[in-house]
Amino acid sequence: GSRHLYLRFIRPFLLKHQAKLDQLVGFIYGEMVSFRHDICA
């Protein structure tokens, strides 16, 4: 079931696109920090 889906589809996708996903998460984190700073200032 779910283990097969993860090993067959999800994990290979995440490994293939890991660098892009890391960039995206970093960008979103930076935007959230900036937004929070703007709200609290």
Q: Per residue of the chain (41 residues), what is the pLDDT tens digit?
A: 999 999 999 999 999 999 999 999 999 999 999 999 999 97
DSSP string covering the chain? -HHHHIIIIIHHHHHHTHHHHHHHHHHHHHHHHHHHHHHH-
List, in order, residues 6 or more apart from 21 with CB less than 8 Å away: 14
Q: Give CA–CA dist 11/2, Å, rounded.
A: 12
35 Cα distance to chain centroid = 18
Token pair 């890991």 is found at: 18
So what's the pLDDT on residue 41?
A: 78
